[in-house]
A and B are shown apart, each in its own frame.
Chain A
Amino acid sequence: QQPVQSPQAVILREGEDAVINCSSSKALYSVHWYRQKHGEAPVFLMILLKGGEQKGHEKISASFNEKKQQSSLYLTASQLSYSGTYFCGTEKSVAGAGSYQLTFGKGTKLSVIP
């Protein structure tokens, strides 16, 4: 049930664009994206909900294809500060009131170099 991310790692020069993909074999209710810098805790980037609502980050965007159970994270004009490991997290349909399970992929390591 763990979502699959690709690529596993990517190296960019400042100003270049990148796409990180996340796919699941299960029907999804939502997809979440987090970034973790080395030695730090993961930090929320955005949530994409079934039905199209998106809450997110200023310079990073994402899409959610419910039918294909896939999401993609788009980083444009990358900056050095974008470096880190990006995790997608997926939620299944609600199992019961107050029950939430966010399952993360193994992550995509992004390195931005000058």
Chain B
Amino acid sequence: DSGVTQTPKHLITATGQRVTLRCSPRSGDLSVYWYQQSLDQGLQFLIQYYNGEERAKGNILERFSAQQFPDLHSELNLSSLELGDSALYFCASSFPSGATTGELFFGEGSRLTVL
């Protein structure tokens, strides 16, 4: 158990819909990361938050947005869903050390299926 909790574990929805994925980081971790994993693309970095503020952005579509709340939990919102958005979405947290992320602790992921 990494200490990172993601909900829901599985989600099936239709094209055009909107979903919210939730992540609770490990106690004490200030940084939250979102990754998308599809079969042929490995782990794609989406976005990073540090203590409530967005700090780094990767290949995140405009239809996707995220935020980190004062209690440090984070939500990833995916809207106008397309078939290609079907993937496993991981949240990870860390307590960064100096200039490096440090060890990332991954949640079990939320598997999104868009039909």
Contacts and interface: CB of A to CB of B under 8 A. Distances in A.
B43 to A, nearest CB: 4
Interface residues of A, number: 29
B2 interface: yes
Given A29-B99, A41-B108, A100 B42 contact: no
Given A41-B106, A100-B50, A105 B55 contact: no
Contacts of B30: 98
Contacts of B51: 98
A104 B45 contact: yes
A32 B35 CA distance: 15
Given A42-B106, A106-B42, A101 B99 contact: no
Interface of A: 2, 29-30, 32, 34, 40-44, 47, 49, 87, 89, 91, 93-96, 98-107
